C-alpha cells in the first residue's frame, strides 16, 4: 500500500511536467517567441542553481517533506494558472511577462522533484526497504504520468467553447490542440492543484532525528550560508561524489536540448511538400512520448545494471545513448526514415534513466542520511542547473544559427514552422555526447565499483 501511494505521487507530479515540457517550444513558436526557446529551457537550469538545494536543506532541517511538497505544488499551480491566463487573453504576449511568470513557476515546481526523491528514499529506508530494488518500480509511475499527459495535450483541443480530441491537423480544430496552444499550461496547473492536495496524504518523517546525524559542523544559529546550504558543499570533498557531479553538469546539457527542440523539429516536416499530410509530423508530442515509454521500460533495468556493471559503465552507456539519439534525429524523417526517429526515442529512454535515475540512486548511496535531501538538490543543481543553463544557451545559439521560424501557408492559413538545416544541428549535438562518453571512460574513477547495498549512514 505504501509503495502504491508513493507511485501515485510520481504519476501526478510528472503529469504536471509532461503537459508542457516537450511541447512548450511549439507554443512559443506560435506566439512569436520561437527564437527565445533556449531561454525558457535554460530557465530550468537557472532556478535549479539555488531552489532545489534550498528546498532540500529545509526538508532536512525544518519542515516535513510532505508539507513542503503540498505548499510548493500549490503555489506553482497558482502561478501556472496566471501564466495561462496571460497568454490566453493577450494577443501579442511579451517575452518579459511570459518569461517572468514561467521562472516563478519553475522556482516553485523544480524543487518538488528532488523533494519527491527525498521523501521516497527516506520513507523506504525508515521501513527497512531496499531502495535500489524498490525506487525504480515506484519512479516508473512518474514516467507513466508524463506519457499520459503528453497524449492528452497532443490530442485535446479547446476553442470557442468546443472541446474534443483529434490527431489530424487537417481537422478544423487540429491547430487548436493543446500541444500548440496555451491550453497545455492550463492542464498542467490542474494537475498541480491535484498533486498539492494528494501530497498532504503522504506519511510523516522524523526530520529532527535525520538532521541530528548531519556531520557539517554547524553550530549556533543558522547563517545565510547555512540556509542556502553553501556550507554543505563539503559534499564535493568526497571523491566518490566530486567527479560524478562534474559529469552531471556535462550530461545535463543533453536533456534540455532534447526537450526544447525535438517537437519543433518533427513538426517542421509538415511544411515540406513530401510530408504535408503526414500524420507523424502532425503528432510530434505523441511521437516524443515513445521516449517516455522507453524510459518506463528501461527504468527497471537501472538497479540491476548498477549492481552488475557499476556506475561508470552505466554512465558511459547513457552518453552513448545520447549520441545515438541525436544521430538518428540527424538522419531520420517521417517517411522512409521513420524507424530512425522511433529508434531515437527508444535511445532517449536509456540515456535518461542511465544518468538521471542512476545518478539519484548513486547520490543516495554515497551521502550521509542527514544530507540525503541536500544531496538530491545538489545533483539537480549540477545537471538541471549549471549543465542545462550553459547547454541551452549554447544549443540555442547553434539552432538559431542554422534554423529560423518561418510562416508557411497551409489549408488553415499561415502557420509558423522552425525551418532550416536540422541535420547539421543534430550531428553537432551527437559529437558532443560522444566526447563526454570518452571523458568518462578515461577520467571518471569511482570508489564504489557497484552499489551492492543501500547506504543509510
Domain that holds residue 422: 2-204+225-443
Give the separation between CA 422 and CA 71, rounded to whole angstroms.
42
> Is residue 212, in this structure, part of any structural domain at all?
no
> Is residue 114, in this structure, part of any structural domain at all?
yes
> Is residue 214, in this structure, part of any structural domain at all?
no
Quick one: cell of 45? 537550469
> Is residue 452, in this structure, part of any structural domain at all?
no
> Is residue 456, in this structure, part of any structural domain at all?
no
Q: Which residues contact 85 (CB under 8 A, 6 or more apart)?
A: none
Q: Of 182, 184, 34, nearest to 95 (Cα)? A: 34
> Is residue 457, in this structure, part of any structural domain at all?
no
3 state DSSP class of 235: helix
> Is residue 6, in this structure, part of any structural domain at all?
yes
Give the separation between CA 210 and CA 219, rounded to whole angstroms.
16
Show pLDDT as tens, one digit a residue, over the chain (457 residues): 788 889 999 999 999 999 999 899 999 999 999 989 989 988 877 776 666 666 766 666 667 777 888 999 999 999 999 999 999 999 999 999 999 999 999 999 988 887 888 788 878 877 777 776 788 788 889 989 999 999 999 999 998 889 999 998 878 888 899 999 999 999 999 999 999 999 988 877 655 544 443 343 334 455 555 555 555 556 666 666 777 878 888 888 887 788 889 999 999 999 998 898 889 999 999 999 998 888 888 877 887 888 888 888 999 999 999 999 999 999 999 999 999 999 999 999 899 888 887 887 777 777 666 566 667 667 776 776 777 788 888 888 999 999 999 988 776 678 889 999 999 999 999 999 999 999 999 988 776 555 544 444 4
Measured from the Cβ of residue 167, the count of other Cβ atoms closer than 10 Å reads 14
Measured from the Cβ of residue 432, the count of other Cβ atoms closer than 10 Å reads 22
3 state DSSP class of 413: strand
Give the separation between CA 288 and CA 341, rounded to whole angstroms.
9
Domain total of the chain: 1
> Is residue 211, in this structure, part of any structural domain at all?
no
The Cα angle at residue 260 between residues 257 and 266, in degrees rounded to 5? 105
Sequence-ordered alpha helix ranges (H) in 127-168: 131-155
Write out the DSSP string of 390-438.
Answer: HHHHHHHHHHHHHEEEEEEEETTEEEEEEEE-HHHHHHHHHHHHHHHHH
* CATH code of the domain in which 177 resides: 1.20.1250.20
pTM of the entire structure? 0.79
The answer to whether the beta carbons of residues 9 and 145 sit under 8 Å apart is: no
The Cα angle at residue 386 between residues 305 and 136, in degrees rounded to 5? 25
H or E element that contains 380: helix 372-380
Quick one: cell of 47? 532556478
Give the separation between CA 427 and CA 323, rounded to whole angstroms.
9
Measured from the Cβ of residue 446, the count of other Cβ atoms closer than 10 Å reads 17
Amino acid at each position: 500500500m505504501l509503495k502504491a501511494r508513493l507511485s501515485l505521487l510520481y504519476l501526478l507530479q510528472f503529469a504536471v511536467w509532461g503537459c508542457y515540457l516537450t511541447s512548450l517550444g511549439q507554443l512559443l513558436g506560435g506566439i512569436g517567441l520561437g527564437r527565445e526557446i533556449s531561454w525558457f529551457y535554460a530557465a530550468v537550469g537557472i532556478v535549479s542553481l539555488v531552489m532545489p538545494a534550498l528546498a532540500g536543506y529545509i526538508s532536512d532541517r525544518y519542515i516535513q517533506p510532505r508539507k513542503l511538497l503540498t505548499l510548493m505544488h500549490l503555489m506553482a499551480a497558482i502561478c501556472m494558472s496566471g501564466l495561462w491566463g496571460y497568454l490566453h487573453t493577450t494577443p501579442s504576449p511579451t517575452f518579459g511577462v511570459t518569461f517572468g511568470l514561467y521562472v516563478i513557476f519553475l522556482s516553485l515546481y523544480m524543487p518538488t522533484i528532488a523533494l519527491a526523491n527525498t521523501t521516497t528514499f527516506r520513507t523506504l529506508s525508515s521501513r527497512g526497504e531496499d531502495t535500489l530494488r524498490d525506487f525504480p518500480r515506484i519512479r516508473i509511475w512518474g514516467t507513466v504520468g508524463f506519457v499520459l499527459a503528453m497524449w492528452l495535450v497532443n490530442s485535446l483541443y479547446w476553442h470557442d467553447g468546443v472541446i474534443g480530441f483529434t490527431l489530424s491537423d487537417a481537422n478544423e480544430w487540429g491547430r487548436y490542440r493543446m500541444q500548440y496552444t496555451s491550453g497545455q499550461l492550463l492542464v498542467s496547473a490542474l494537475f498541480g492543484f491535484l498533486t498539492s492536495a494528494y501530497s498532504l496524504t503522504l506519511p510523516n518523517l522524523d526530520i529532527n532525528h535525520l538532521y541530528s546525524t548531519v556531520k557539517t559542523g554547524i553550530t549556533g544559529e543558522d547563517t545565510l550560508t547555512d540556509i542556502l546550504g553553501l556550507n554543505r558543499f563539503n559534499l564535493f570533498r568526497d571523491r566518490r561524489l566530486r567527479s560524478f557531479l562534474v559529469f552531471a553538469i556535462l550530461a545535463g546539457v543533453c536533456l534540455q536540448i532534447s526537450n526544447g527542440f525535438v517537437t519543433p523539429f518533427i513538426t517542421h516536416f509538415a511544411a515540406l511538400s513530401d510530408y504535408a499530410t503526414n500524420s507523424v509530423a502532425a503528432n510530434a508530442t505523441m511521437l516524443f512520448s515513445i521516449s517516455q515509454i522507453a524510459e518506463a521500460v528501461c527504468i527497471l533495468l537501472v538497479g540491476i545494471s548498477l549492481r552488475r556493471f557499476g556506475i561508470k559503465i552505466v554512465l558511459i552507456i547513457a552518453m552513448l545513448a545520447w549520441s545515438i539519439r541525436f544521430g538518428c534525429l540527424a538522419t531520420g524523417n517521417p517517411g522512409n526514415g521513420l524507424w530512425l526517429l522511433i529508434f531515437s526515442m527508444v535511445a532517449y529512454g536509456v540515456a535518461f534513466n542511465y544518468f538521471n535515475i542512476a545518478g539519484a540512486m548513486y547520490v543516495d548511496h554515497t551521502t550521509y542520511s542527514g544530507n540525503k535531501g541536500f544531496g538530491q538538490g545538489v545533483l539537480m543543481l549540477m545537471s538541471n542547473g549549471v549543465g542545462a543553463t550553459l547547454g541551452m544557451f549554447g544549443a540555442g545559439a547553434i539552432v538559431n544559427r542554422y534554423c529560423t521560424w518561418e510562416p508557411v501557408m497551409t489549408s488553415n492559413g499561415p502557420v509558423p514552422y522552425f525551418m532550416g538545416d536540422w541535420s547539421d544541428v543534430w550531428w553537432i549535438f551527437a559529437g558532443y555526447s560522444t566526447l563526454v562518453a570518452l571523458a568518462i571512460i578515461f577520467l571518471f574513477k569511482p570508489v564504489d565499483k557497484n552499489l551492492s547495498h543501500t547506504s543509510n549512514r
